[in-house]
Amino acid sequence: MRRGSGTAMKLFEYEAKDIAGKFGIPRPRGVVVETPEEARRAFESIGGPVVLKSQVLVAGRGKAGGIRFANSADEAYSVAKALLGSEIKGEKVLKLLVEEKIKVKRELYAGFVINRASKSYSYLASTEGGVDIEEVAERSPEKIVRGDVDPLEGLKEYEARYIARKMGYRGKQLVELGAIIKRLYDIAISYDGELIESNPLVETEDGSFVAADMKLIIDDNSLYRHKEYEARAKVPGPELTPLEARAKAAGLAYVDLDGYVGIVGNGAGLTMATLDLVKEFGGEPANFCDMGGTATVERMVEALEIVLSNPRTKVLLMNVLGGIIRCDEVARAVVKVKEKMGFAKPMVIRLVGTNEEEGKRILAEAGISSFDSMEEAAMRAVEFARGA
Catalytic residues: 109, 197
Q: Residue 285 carries which DSSP code?
A: B
Closest CA to 289 of 258, 328, 319, 329: 319
Between the alpha carbon of residue 211 and those of residues 132, 156, 204, 288, the distances in Å are 16, 21, 10, 36
Between the alpha carbon of residue 230 and those of residues 189, 225, 287, the distances in Å are 18, 9, 26
Find out whether 336 and 367 touch, Cβ atoms under 8 Å: no
- CA 387 from chain centre, in angstroms, equals 35
Rg of the chain on CA atoms, in Å:
25
Helix orientation angle between 327-341 and 297-309, rounded to the nearest 10 degrees: 40
Alpha helix locations (H) across the chain?
A: 13-22, 36-46, 73-83, 133-139, 157-166, 171-190, 227-230, 242-249, 268-280, 297-309, 327-341, 356-365, 374-387
Closest CA to 329 of 356, 305, 292, 369: 356
353 phi and psi angles, rounded to 5 deg: 130, -150
Find out whether 379 and 352 touch, Cβ atoms under 8 Å: no
Could you tell me the sign of the dihedral formed by the alpha carbons of 377, 379, 382, 386, in that order?
A: negative
Q: Exposed (0-12), middle (13-18) or buried (19+): which is 298, by Cβ within 10 Å?
A: exposed
- CA 34 from chain centre, in angstroms, equals 26
Rounded to a whole number of angstroms, the distance between the first and last alpha carbons of the chain is: 22
